[in-house]
Every structure is written in C-alpha cells, then in structure tokens.
Chain A
Amino acid sequence: MTDLLLELVTAYGLIILAGTVFMAALGAPLPGTVLLVLSGAFAAGGDMDPIMVVLTGFTAAIAGDMAGYFIGFKGGEWLKEKLGRTPLGKHVNKADVFMDKWGGVGVFLSRWLVAPIGPTLNYVAGIGQFDWRRFMLWDVLGEVVWVGLYVGIGMLFSASALALVDLIASASWMILGALGMYFMGKRLMIVARKAKA
C-alpha cells in the first residue's frame, strides 16, 4: 500500500498528499506522515514547491480533523437519542466528561506527540460536543507543529528521513503506553491501598 502511494505521489503530487492526509485524519490506515515527509524531501530536491506542500498538508489535516469532529457531533446526537438511558448510553455521556477534563491540550498533543490517538480524539470531541471553536484553535496549533516537524524532517534528511519516521512512530506509541501505565498504575495503587484498610 505504501509503495503504491509513493508511486502515486511521485506521479500526481499534491492531490495524493491531500487525499491521504485527509483520510488518515479520519482514521483510515494510510501513511499520511510518510507522504508528508516524502513531499518535504521532494521539495528539498526541487521537485515540489515547499510552500504548497506545507499549505496542502496543513489544509488537508485540518479539513480531515474537522470532518471527524462533525461526524462525531452528528453521530453522537443520534447515539444519545437511540441509547438513551441504557448502560451503553452512559459510555456515550462519558465523552463529555473526558473532553471537559482533557480538552484543548489533549487535542493539541494528539496532533503530533501522541498521534496514534488523533483520529479517535476527533470523534470523541464531536460526541462530547466540545466547543468547535476551541477544538479548531487547538487543532490548528497542533497541526502547525505536525506539518512543520515532518516537512522539516523530510527537507533535512531526505532518504534517511523515512527511517526516522519509523523511529518517531515508535516513540509516539511508547509515550502512549507510558501514559496508560501512569494512569492505570495510579488507580491500581489507590485500590490496593483501600484493600489494606
């Protein structure tokens, strides 16, 4: 799949970059980051316009995130109506609580630092009816970092940048795992202490 996309982006350029980044923001298993890095490398080699690469990546990412948010928003209303007070309905309502607690900073960090949860968070923010202006503000800030970081890496490191993407992806998952360990570990310690008392 990645090989095919590499060939497509070489042949058709920005339109493939835009489509891939947009779909990846909605959660499709497509290598948006890889194509962004590669486009940066192409730009450095004089085969793409760097400003257009940045603008395209940025616009497609924001459009994908906002689309995910509005799908969540509309879908969440429908879910709440259907599930109502059933036990499952409680889970839907948890989205509000989650967003109130983690809100903007969560959106910002999930754009680039813990990117694997980005698409999910778009839907959760919509379901939780998080204020869309606040969502967009943090989303824009986060995507500026994401696009700047990866286009920059592509321009600087060219061919070896693709191996670097792998390295960063591992780091992202590692941070996500460590966050899980921290919060669940804290909770485990609390319940274990209660057991003693």
Chain B
Amino acid sequence: MNKTKYLWQKHRLLLIGFSLATLVTLFFLFRFVFSVIYWSYNRDLPIEPWQPLGYVAHSHQVDREWLMRQANLPEGIKFVRLTVEEAAKIDGVTYEEMRDRLTAAIAAQHAQ
C-alpha cells in the first residue's frame, strides 16, 4: 500500500488539514507578492470625497495651510477633519470642481 493511500485511510483529517494549510499559504503568498507590486506602482492615490484636507496635504507632501487656501476656505477658522466634499460645499462648488482644483494645485506645486 503506498504511503499517500495509507495516510488518506488512517489520517484523513491530518492530510486534509495539511493540504488546506498549503493552499492558504500559497494563496496569500501570491496575494502578498501582488500587493507589493501594486503598492510600489500606486503610491500616489487620487483624492476622494471622504478625505480630510490635512490628510490630502500630508499624503501629497504639501503644506496643510497652503492647501486650505487653495480650497478657498475662510481664514481664521480652525477646521478639524474637514473633508474635500465639505470644503466644496463651503466654497459653493461641486465636489468634482474642488477635486480637480486641488489636484491641479498640488501638481503645480510639485512641478516647482
């Protein structure tokens, strides 16, 4: 009787467990490698409505106060976790307009 057949008959659970562990390991190994490649190519993520301006500023390495001025926010008020969407509302423009304005301003700043 060959060994695999013996193990299958006498230690079925153990053999299934080992196979499952192997599958899980291989699956996450591929996922890990894929994530590493994806991550190294996608460091500059686009601006999203829920992102606070401070977060956008820090993510794109620009000054927080400078970005607030680009969003045309009233000066002298301290905004905490004010999102891009909310900033658009305060300025009376659509979210898309605000996103495009900030993206362009950041790109211009980086080009300098």
Where the two chains meet, the residues of A that have a C-beta atom closer than 8 Å to any C-beta of B are 3, 6-7, 10-11, 13, 41-42, 44-48, 158-160, 163-164, 166-167, 170-171, 173-174, 176-178, 180-181, 184-185, 187-188, 191-192, 195
Q: Which of under 10, 10 to 19, 20 to 34, or 35 or more describes the interface residues of B?
A: 35 or more
Q: How far is the CB of A85 from chain B (nearest CB, A)?
A: 23
Q: Identify the closest chain A residue to B13 (Cβ).
A: A184
Inter-chain CB contacts under 8 Å: number:
118
Q: Identify the closest chain A residue to B55 (Cβ).
A: A45
**Known contacts A11-B81, A181-B21, A184-B17; is A45 also within 8 Å of B58 by CB?**
yes
A153 to B27, CA, bound (A): 25
Task: Indicate if the CB atoms of A13 and B6 lie closer than 8 Å.
Answer: no
Where the two chains meet, the residues of B that have a C-beta atom closer than 8 Å to any C-beta of A are 3, 6-7, 10-11, 14-15, 17-18, 20-29, 31-32, 35-36, 38-39, 42-45, 50-60, 64, 80-81, 83
Q: Report A-chain residues with C-beta under 8 Å of the C-beta of B43.
A: 160
Of the A-B pairs whose beta carbons lie under 8 Å apart in the complex, a sample of 14, sorted by A's number, is A6-B50, A42-B81, A46-B64, A48-B81, A159-B45, A160-B39, A160-B43, A163-B35, A167-B39, A174-B32, A181-B25, A188-B14, A188-B15, A191-B10
